[in-house]
Structure 1
Amino acid sequence: MFFLLRMAFWLALILLILPIGTSSDGGRQIGAWQALSAAQSVLADARGFCQRQPDACEVGGEMVSHILDKAQMSAKWLYENFGSHAGTEAPRAPDAAHGGSTLTPQDLLPSWGGEPATPGATPQAPSFSVPLPQRRPA
């Protein structure tokens, strides 16, 4: 899987460096450096957005502040309702009657309905009696 990710990375890097937009009708080719300079221009334009539109930036800032307040209150509510009760219950000690096991006697019964297994005992194969056919008289 990691090999495929590495291969995708290197192919994307090679495709970024190769020229884009070769056409037979004389279309313009865009190189990697031109694309990089265009991306830098877009970032510079985005930085100056608040200078051109101060009202939009103010409303956007209030909206981000409101969303952060809601996220903080939601996290506080989740912690109060679910997180604070996680550590208050003491862990249950293992049952000493079953050699430290928490299994009930019903859990220790085999699926074919035998006796409960005792801890430390070696398991025995169930004994089945198969009826044999009667011998033919000779």
Structure 2
Amino acid sequence: MRFLFRITFWLGLVLVLLPRDKTPESEKLPQIGAADAVQAATAAVSNMSQFCKRQPTACEVGGQAATIIGQRAQDGARKLYQIINDKKEQITNDKKAPDHTGSIGADTTDLAVVATPRDTLTQDDLALEWRGPEIAN
């Protein structure tokens, strides 16, 4: 919980201190110096560090909520990991060669493949004279 406060603080500080473009709207805003911003941020962090002393039940509930959220995140990551591995195994199994050759105990689908004639050329096709590529000497 303290980590989240620190990250929020430093990220906010960086965003506040980044230079901005001059616009007519920015001229109307109050001007705050970097030292004032750092002093205010330090006071805010000090106030946050005393929060658990002032509100112990809020800190306890917040800690329990953080634990539950962390557990759910772990469960979600575990589930996602299992889904990815299942898909990976399914793809790997689909690419493997079949375990049977089809010659013994062939299914009807295998028989259709085996029964397909190999010589499909007609007599007219066979009668044509074949010419190979011309080879220059």
Shorter chain as denominator, the TM-score bin is 0.3 to 0.5
> TM-score when scaled to structure 2?
0.43
Larger RCO (alpha carbons 8 Å, 6+ apart): 2
Between Structure 1 and Structure 2, the one with more helix by share is 2
